[in-house]
Amino acid sequence: MNDHQSTFGRVMEYFQNNMDWVIELTIEHIILVGSAIMVAILIGVPLGIYLTTNKKLAGTVLNIAGVIMTIPSIALFGIMVPIFSIINYGIGFVPAFVALVLYSQLPIIRNTYTAIHNVDPQIRDAAKGVGMSTIQRIFKVEIPNTIPVIMAGVRTAVVLNIGIGVIAAFIGAGGLGTLISQGITRGYHEMVISGAIAISILGISADLFLRFLQKLLTPKGVS
């Protein structure tokens, strides 16, 4: 017990001494994950909506996204690095960013697709019946009614990406994973544990924040 307390004490001490660096790494992490998610949403949501009009393609795209999801993150990084080194971006932000965008696609596309697909046909008919254009219908009826499901997909993607972002540190993308990768190399346990704790806190707070955001963005009548 004593030993654990002292480990805990040393970890706290590490945090105090390196606060600025930890914050800097946290911001790096958020930027990596955040920018990847933004791009993933910009691709995934329109694609998910489009797929509801093309069932054949929907099957193909969801299968591809599904296979990408089963690829272990470290293996995907391992494959990205040689490919991107062709254009001299082998190590660093770019391969990590691309991998995170790819991983986010399945939850975002799938949730958007199923949500729009499951919009009550009567609501859709009613929207057509009152004379809305397709664009109006999508923005005024379908998206508001599907926000909870789409947001749940985004949340899954964010939580997933925060974890995968840790591994990105091993290919030089920075972020909180740096504490773990350097800590392991240097056999510096307090650094490793600090990294693990910081990441866990980031993951849990992101999840909570997005749940809150999901509630906020969901129109009152939609459950």
Q: Which is nearer to another protein, 123 or 204 (CB)?
A: 204
**In the complex, minimum distance from the CB of residue 69 to another protein, in angstroms, rounded to a whole number:** 9
What is the binding site for another protein (CB under 8 A)? 7, 54-57, 60-61, 64, 67, 70-79, 81-83, 85, 159, 162-164, 166-167, 170-171, 177, 180, 183-184, 189-190, 192-193, 195-197, 199-200, 203-204, 206-207
The one-letter code for the residue type at 32 is: L
Residue 126: how many CB atoms within 10 A of its CB? 13
136 versus 200: smaller Cβ distance to another protein: 200
| CB closer to another protein, 8 vs 139 | 8
Residue with Cβ nearer another protein (38 or 204):
204
The half-sphere exposure of 163 on its side-chain side, counting CA atoms within 13 A, is 12
- The answer to whether 45 and 150 are in contact (CB under 8 A) is yes
**CB of 79 vs another protein, minimal distance in Å:** 5
Q: Output the 3-class SS for 78-143.
A: HHHHHHHHCCCCCCCHHHHHHHHHHHHHHHHHHHHHHHHHCCCHHHHHHHHHCCCCHHHHHHHHHH
Nearest approach in angstroms of CB 40 to another protein is 18
